[in-house]
């Protein structure tokens, strides 16, 4: 893991097409702005996990049904 220190309005560039900007820092919370191409999904971890669970749910149910036959 790469760990960087940034101040408000400073940026991080990833792969020439993703820009992460520190928008605000208040206490222990940091607000980030993320500019990425539309084809690059950007989610908070908890949203990403929920999407993965929802996508895996039906296939896991089918596997359980077929193993009970």
Question: Any idea what DSSP says for residue 57?
Answer: H
| Domain ranges for the chain | 11-67
Copy the structure tokens of residue 53. 């669970």
Dihedral of alpha carbons 13, 14, 19, 22, sign: negative
HSE-CB for 43 with a 13 A CA cutoff: 10
pLDDT tens-digit map of 5-63 = 999 999 999 999 999 999 999 999 999 999 999 999 999 999 999 999 999 876 655 55
pLDDT tops 80 at residue 67:
no
pTM: 0.74
Token readout for 38 is 């539309």
């Amino acid at each position: 893991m790469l760990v960087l220190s940034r101040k408000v309005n400073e940026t991080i560039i990833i792969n020439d097409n993703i820009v992460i900007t520190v928008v605000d820092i208040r206490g222990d919370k940091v607000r980030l702005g993320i500019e990425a191409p539309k084809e690059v999904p950007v989610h908070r971890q908890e949203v990403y996990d929920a999407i993965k669970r929802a996508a895996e749910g039906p296939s896991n149910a089918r596997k359980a049904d077929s193993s009970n036959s």
